[in-house]
Amino acid sequence: MREITFHYDPISPYAFLAFERLPQALMGHSVAVRYKPVLFAALLKAHGQLGPAEIPTKRNWTYRQVSWLAHHHGVQLDLPAAHPFNPLPLLRLGLACATDDVPGETNRYVTEQLFHHVWHGGLDATDPARLAELQGRLQNHMAQRDKPWNTPDSDVVKQRLRANSDEAIELGLFGVPAMVVEGRVFWGFDALPMLRAYLDGDAWFDAQWEATADRPQGARRPQA
């Protein structure tokens, strides 16, 4: 069985779309998916990038495009009341539900709950009452751990998120969703067909994967 690591932050609409459509992309293949929450902002900072929602004209385009993509693919997507927002409470809540054998991962149900909290209903993702309701729905998953320190605000959970984000940066990940399989990184919702082709054994990956990326850099923009 092959293994895919799905790096995500529920703040990203593209990560949400990829999560929703991933089962269709993997259909017919024996694949285990590991869901690893990371702080998208940490990846941006590490690479000196702005997020799509931090560039006004790109922000407008992003919301239009993801709304159309959801319509086109038949996925329910309701833009939250405000975006971007601070995703830390959601990320930490997810990791508080992690099991001891895979402390840096969320199962598909918990991951789905985090995404749906943001992208279903058009509500405020940071509303304290809604976050408390979500934590209540996930309480059974947290209780299964039976560890008093295993709460969203614990140092243990915060360290799990830092470790996940640091690991993603070390892997060279620069955005979410990032799907890693056998050392190859597939970035973005629109990479799902490419991921599927790789799993199908498309010969292009043997002939072109390295060759197409090995380009000399003709110019470099001066750093401010």
Per-residue pLDDT tens over the stretch 77-109: 999 999 999 999 999 999 999 887 888 999 999
Domain-embedded: residue 218? no
Domain-embedded: residue 69? yes
pLDDT confidence of 131, banded at 50, 70, 90?
A: very high
Q: Are 149 and 25 in contact (CB under 8 A)?
A: no
Q: Are 179 and 185 in contact (CB under 8 A)?
A: yes
Domain-embedded: residue 160? yes
Domain-embedded: residue 51? yes
- Count CB neighbours of 33 within 10 A: 19
Closest of 119, 62, 60 to residue 90, by C-alpha: 119
Domain-embedded: residue 219? no
For residue 148, pLDDT beyond 70: no
* C-alpha separations of 82 from 37, 126, 212 in Å: 21, 9, 39
Domain-embedded: residue 132? yes
Q: Are 145 and 99 in contact (CB under 8 A)?
A: yes
For residue 224, pLDDT beyond 80: no
Report the number of distinct structural domains present in the chain.
1
For residue 149, pLDDT beyond 60: no
For residue range 171-213, what is the model confidence (pLDDT) as tens digits?
A: 999 999 999 999 999 999 999 999 999 999 999 999 999 989 8
Range of the domain at 175: 2-209
Angle between the N-to-C axes of helices 192-199 and 204-213, in degrees from 0 to 180, rounded to the nearest 10? 130
Domain-embedded: residue 20? yes
Distance between the two ends of the chain, CA-based, in angstroms? 47
What CA–CA distance (Å, rounded) separates 61 from 64?
Answer: 5
The DSSP bridge pattern shows strands 2-8 and 31-37 to be parallel
Average pLDDT of every residue of the chain: 93
Domain-embedded: residue 217? no
State residue 146's pLDDT score.
58
State residue 94's pLDDT score.
96
Tell me the CATH number at 120: 3.40.30.10
Q: State pTM to two decimals.
A: 0.95
